[in-house]
């Protein structure tokens, strides 16, 4: 139990480096099913709509790896700092020759590889949280409302990679002007540097409250 709590705290700290919802209470609401497994809170919810964009759905079959990363932050109602975090990531790659989707899931319950035949199978494995271990009761205050603030990202780019790419793009070849009047090619990069988005798609929502 000590290990579990430490792991959760570590995960929460590392995830703080990524983008958290700035105002989690104001996120669009979504229903989740909660269940207590002894003193462990488990949650089940769907985020299949992260792949409603046909472009993203088609991308599932392009033969390259697609990552669907879900972060569920546990918030005390009225506060913006999470008390815990559960992470679930799913990597999908379509095998062009075997004509199956190879799925690798990584969540608090371990890592597993599966092959599915169609996009429905991918959505079932990668766009639903089923009995996801969320937080130990000991980390929560009895009688107080908590909720999950969930961020789902398609192909998230690591913060380090993102900053590296933005630096690279913000310094185009030839922008050697030392004076502002000499930077003939200095500013056009602003037009595309924003295209280095943090992910191909993002979905955020909050769940209804639960009182431990």
Partner 1 sequence: MRGNRTTLTSVVLRYVSERAGDLLDVNGVELELTRFRLLGTGFFRDVQLSLQRGSRRGNVILIVDVVERNTLVIDQIWLGLASDVDPSGFARPLSAYGGAQATETNLAGTGIALGGAFAVAENQLGLRVRLLDPQTFRSNWITEAELLYNDARAFFGDSDVLVDQPTTATAGSSAQGAPDFAVAQYKRFGGRVSIGHDLGISSQVFFDYRLEKIDALLPPAASDDCGADVCPIDFMLLPGSSILSTLGATFTYDTRDDPFLPTRGQQVVASVAASLTPFGSDYPYTKVVARGSQWFPLSWGHVLHLEAFAGVVSGDAPLFERFYVGDLSDLLPDRALDLTFDRRAAPNFLSTDIVENLYGNYAAEVDLEYRVPLYRGRRSIYGIDVFGSFGLYGLANDADFTQHPRGYSGLATVPVDITFNAGLRIDTQAGGFVLGVANLVGFIPVHGQNQGAVR
Positions 138 through 157 that interact with partner 1 (CB under 8 A) = 157
Distance CA 169, CA 190 (A): 9
Q: Does 169 bind partner 1 (CB under 8 A)?
A: yes
* 149 bridge partner residues: 73, 206
Pick the binder of partner 1 from 7, 14, 163, 208 (CB under 8 A).
163
Q: Which of 32, 38, 123, 124 is nearest to 86 (CA)?
A: 32
Q: Does 63 bind partner 1 (CB under 8 A)?
A: yes
Distance CA 66, CA 59 (A): 8
Pick the binder of partner 1 from 31, 81, 141, 187 (CB under 8 A).
187
Q: In whole angstroms, how close is the CB of 105 to partner 1 at the nearest point?
A: 15
Residue 28 or 181 having the CB closest to partner 1: 181
Interface region with partner 1, contact rule CB under 8 A, candidates 42-50, 63-71, 81-89, 120-128: 63-71
Interface region with partner 1, contact rule CB under 8 A, candidates 29-37, 113-121, 124-132, 158-166: 158-166
Q: Does 114 bind partner 1 (CB under 8 A)?
A: no
Q: In whole angstroms, how close is the CB of 57 to partner 1 at the nearest point?
A: 13
Distances (CA, A) of 26 to 32, 78, 205: 17, 10, 9
Binding site for partner 1 (CB under 8 A): 59, 62-65, 91, 93, 96-97, 157, 161, 163-176, 178-181, 183-196
């Amino acid at each position: 139990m000590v290990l579990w709590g430490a792991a959760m705290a570590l995960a929460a700290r590392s995830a703080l480096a990524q983008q958290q919802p700035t105002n989690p209470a104001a996120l669009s609401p979504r229903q989740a099913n909660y269940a207590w497994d002894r003193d462990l809170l488990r949650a089940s919810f769907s985020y299949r709509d992260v792949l409603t964009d046909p472009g993203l759905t088609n991308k599932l079959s392009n033969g390259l790896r697609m990552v669907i990363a879900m972060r569920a932050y546990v918030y005390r109602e009225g506060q913006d700092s999470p008390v815990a975090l559960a992470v679930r990531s799913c990597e999908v790659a379509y095998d062009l020759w075997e004509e199956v989707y190879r799925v690798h899931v990584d969540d608090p319950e371990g890592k597993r590889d599966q092959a599915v035949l169609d996009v429905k199978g991918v959505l079932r494995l990668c766009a639903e949280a089923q009995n996801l271990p969320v937080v130990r009761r000991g980390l929560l205050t009895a009688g107080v409302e908590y909720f999950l603030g969930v961020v789902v990202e398609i192909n998230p780019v690591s913060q380090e990679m993102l900053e590296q790419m933005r630096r690279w793009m913000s310094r185009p070849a030839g922008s050697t002007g030392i004076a502002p009047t000499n930077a003939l090619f200095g500013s056009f990069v602003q037009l595309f540097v924003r295209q280095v988005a943090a992910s191909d798609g993002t979905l955020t929502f909050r769940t209804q409250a639960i009182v431990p």
